[in-house]
Amino acid sequence: MKSSSFLIAPLMLALLAGCQADNATENSAATDMAANTQQPSTPLLDLTQATIPAEVKFYNAAGSMLPGQGLKVDFDTAKHKYASVMIEPETPFDWSDLKDFNLAMDIANAGERSVQIYLDMTDIDGGNYTRTVAVPVGDSKTYYAKMSGHDLGTPDGEEHQELNFKSGLRSNPPTWESDETMFVSMWGKKNLNLKGISKIIISVQSSLYDKEITLSNVRLRQNPPFNENFLDHIVDQYGQNALVHFEGKVYSQADLDKAREQEAPELTGQVMSGYSKFGGWADGPKLEATGFFRTAKHNGKWSLVDPEGYLYFSTGLDIVRLNNTATMTGFDYDQAAMKPEERSGISPEHRTADQRINKRAQRSRYVASDTRARMYRWLPRFEDKLGRWYGYRPYAHSGALKKGESFSFYGANLQRKYGDSDPLGAWKEVSINRMLSWGFTSLGNWADPIFYDNGKIPYVANGWINGDYKTVSSNFDFWAPMPDVFDPVFEQAAIKTVKQVAAEVNDSPWCMGVFIDNEKSFGRGENNNLHYGIVINTLGRNGADVPTKAEFTRLMKAKYGTIDALNKAWDKNIASWQAFDQGIDSSLTNDTQLQDYADLLHAYGDKYFSIVSAAIKKYLPNHMYLGSRFPDWGMPIEIVKAAAKHVDVVSYNIYKEGLHPQTWGFLADIDMPSIIGEFHVGANDNGLFHPGLIHAADQHDRADMYTEYMESVIENPYFVGAHWFQYMDSPITGRAYDGENYNVGFVNVTDTPYRPMVEAARKLHSQMYPNRFNSN
């Protein structure tokens, strides 16, 4: 279909008639919503012919037309980390006259594995919106993405349009009932310029295997009638989806008791067969024992070495703690009645407990978000036994509310499951014994310090550098502005953090290492402006106010000597070094300038990691520095190389399907031990509305993908471990801090383990050491 302009109502029928939609499958799908809306759908692309439409283009992929089925796309993703099929019309699609509609497509998967596809829509302004979905192996199903949402009629400005609506959930439930699957919102510009949609891209990213789909019946449709109560009473008294049944769902106290009793025989408290006291490979070679964890290269592969000298590979679960199991209830209090919270300033958000609500404040309780308050079928009274799980969140990173009352259904379920007297003590014992039973060799990041020195399983400690130091910007400060590392106050804050961590660790041999900070916005990889954002932003500032800028001025003056030499190299016209230091137009113009920016970014990273490393060597001399856990969206090579000079192990948070060989070739040049600080896979067959960042078809597929990810790490000679994020699922209505409502746990909100995940972990760990060290 050549036309790329769509008008509403009458012309939709004309376009429908003008398309060669004579395939029975497409004709059937084209009327799939007529019973609800009495509106036809409008084909966007003719996939019924024998030839591939000219608008369809492929990148690291190949297409073929299957008679009666549609367009088969083979993604060459075992070799390439990115492969796609793109619809790019000669003239951008004009959908500006359409309201309350969605883009739908039918997708089948005849391959051997589920396929997580990313749907990217780009408009003529350069705006992009990314969504994703897992396509299971099987016959064709309908998947849809809202292009224009319902009119909610809310009074507070732009939120009347549903795509702007802030519920406090990363992904909302569907707003109408159907057997179709909604693409999950990820990131980008939700309200694209519908005057011109220039590209529609379906991609597969960082898959370890080649994938395939068959695409048909790509169309625009009117949204069915809006269910105005789509968020009402969606959560039951156990914090589960109240509207659906799923395997392992708890309906009564008897169900909780039965789950506890059935699991108890597994929790012997013994390490897995073949493991040493600290979780190392007792059946393998024994190296020098130092009494603490260290690194070593053994037969060409990097490894950790446990305190007794055994080769050690660190696997574990992050967030073995209750903080961030709470969700916003929609209620708030008179701030004058709230007691000021006390915080040390050195602990990360993930370890900071919500503030308690005093009795005076309880009397001032009011509804701050009717939307949130109506989500719950049950909340306890303050005086009830389970009222202890209320808290107060004084600040939220994102969501429907910036502050307010929180409640932990997970905590309440622990009390129901393990008793009123000491639920946390029982949970601590159960959790440690689970880690041992499931074969994990450590606790991952952000374990509650109550788990330190448990005497059964190693752990990693953590700290977060907070303080009144000056800041710089990367032009993408995701969690917070970046520190001005040349400000002396930053070094003081780093020392304060490390000293507190040292006090918690107390020189314990069970501490495998220390993470400091997390997912810092050192730079993004999409383009040079984002990659070198810290440099570009800082060069535009005044060195009198910004110590990092003053250092950049010093470095460039030392290299070039005269401002004329710099102007010639950078193709600039800067009046003097004084003018340079006061702030310049830092836009990139040539390769010489680009190399200098790389050197400046490295200097920034070198200062950051050298300061932290020096503090750890002084106050934690027997423990490894594990870095700051680079996010996969922000790991500039200059910063990675700077870290490698100062850390014992370089750490990365990598939310992909595995370690794709095309991405990790640089490790050979660095030749440093590395560790994965976070990864996960989720599904939506357990009642949650968002699977997480990486999607599986169901819990069994999730377990298979966990195994495949871990095998890719175990096979890599530079990686010495990987930690799964996280121990328990996020709350179904989103964690209070930022609305994450992911299926990412080894246990659900009722503290019930996902059996496929448990069995996959046991099998993997039983073979881990021979597979790691006996293979060539």
In a domain, 70, yes or no: yes
What pLDDT is stored for residue 159 in this prediction? Answer: 59
The number of distinct structural domains making up the chain is 2
Nearest CA among 55, 64, 70 for reference residue 201: 55
Phi, psi (degrees; rounded to nearest 5) at 40: -75, 160
In a domain, 556, yes or no: no
Which residues in 363-402 are b (16+ Cβ under 10 Å) and which e? Answer: eebeebbebbbebbeebeeeeeebebbbbbbeebeebbbe
C-alpha separations of 642 from 294, 674, 767 in Å? 20, 14, 35
Cα radius of gyration (the chain): 27
What pLDDT is stored for residue 160 in this prediction? Answer: 63
> Could you give the angle at the alpha carbon of 303 between the alpha carbons of 297 and 304, nearest 5°?
120
Give the DSSP per-residue string, 13-50.
Answer: HHHHHHS----HHHHHHHTTTHHHH----EESS---SS
Tokens of residue 483, six digits: 């520190």
pLDDT digit string (tens) for 571-588? Answer: 999 999 999 999 999 999
Of 179, 202, 222, which residue constitutes the final position of a domain?
222
Whether the Cβ atoms of residue 411 and residue 707 lie closer than 8 Å to each other? no
Name the DSSP class of 480.
S
Distance CA 380, CA 407 (A): 9
**279 shares a domain with 358:** yes
Structural domain boundaries, residue 727: 231-324+345-457+654-776
In a domain, 614, yes or no: no
| Strand 138-146 versus strand 181-182 pairing type | parallel
Give the CATH number, domain containing residue 722: 3.20.20.80
Q: Which residues pair with 84 in a beta bridge?
A: 59, 203
In a domain, 47, yes or no: yes
Whether the Cβ atoms of residue 327 and residue 412 lie closer than 8 Å to each other? no
Neighbours of 314 (CB within 10 A): 26
SS3 79: coil
**33 shares a domain with 82:** yes
Give the CATH number, domain containing residue 105: 2.60.120.430
**302 shares a domain with 214:** no
Give the H/E segment covering residue 414: helix 409-418
Q: Where are the alpha helices (H) located in 169-283, listed in sequence order?
A: 253-263
C-alpha separations of 351 from 51, 324, 362, 603 in Å? 57, 8, 25, 31
Q: Which residue has the tokens 């746990």?
A: 745
Distance CA 360, CA 755 (A): 45
* 560 CB-contact burial (10 Å; exposed 0-12 / middle 13-18 / buried 19+): middle
Give the H/E segment covering residue 431: helix 423-438
Distance CA 217, CA 699 (A): 29
**178 shares a domain with 41:** yes
**760 shares a domain with 675:** yes
**125 shares a domain with 24:** yes
Whether the Cβ atoms of residue 75 and residue 204 lie closer than 8 Å to each other? yes
Name the DSSP class of 93.
B
**150 shares a domain with 103:** yes
**124 shares a domain with 245:** no
**281 shares a domain with 151:** no
Residues in contact with 435: Cβ distance below 8 Å, sequence separation at least 6, in sequence order: 316, 317, 320, 443, 457
Distance CA 521, CA 481 (A): 8
Distance CA 685, CA 703 (A): 13
Q: Residue 194 half-sphere exposure, CB side, CA atoms within 13 Å?
A: 19
SS3 351: helix
Tokens of residue 712, six digits: 């890719």
Phi, psi (degrees; rounded to nearest 5) at 119: -105, 115
Neighbours of 645 (CB within 10 A): 14
**250 shares a domain with 183:** no
Distance CA 155, CA 242 (A): 29
In a domain, 464, yes or no: no
What pLDDT is stored for residue 150 in this prediction? Answer: 85
**766 shares a domain with 725:** yes
In a domain, 608, yes or no: no
Distance CA 672, CA 297 (A): 10
Whether the Cβ atoms of residue 47 and residue 30 lie closer than 8 Å to each other? no
Of 222, 243, 273, which residue constitutes the final position of a domain?
222
Helix axes 591-619, 637-644, angle to 10 degrees: 30
Q: Where are the alpha helices (H) located in 587-718, listed in sequence order?
A: 591-619, 637-644, 667-670, 699-714
**157 shares a domain with 252:** no
Phi, psi (degrees; rounded to nearest 5) at 386: -80, 0
Tokens of residue 561, six digits: 């000597």
Give the DSSP per-residue string, 136-158.
Answer: -SEEEEEEEEESS--B---SSGG
In a domain, 588, yes or no: no
Q: How far apart are the first and last CA of the chain?
A: 54
Q: Residue 740 half-sphere exposure, CB side, CA atoms within 13 Å?
A: 18
Q: Which residues pair with 460 in a beta bridge?
A: 513
Neighbours of 683 (CB within 10 A): 24
Give the H/E segment covering residue 567: helix 563-570
What pLDDT is stored for residue 601 in this prediction? Answer: 98
Residues (pLDDT < 50) of the chain are 1-38, 156-157, 342-345
Of 222, 247, 263, which residue constitutes the final position of a domain?
222
In a domain, 767, yes or no: yes
Distance CA 543, CA 322 (A): 44
Nearest CA among 375, 397, 399, 379 for reference residue 389: 379
Distance CA 4, CA 196 (A): 9
Helix axes 409-418, 253-263, angle to 10 degrees: 70
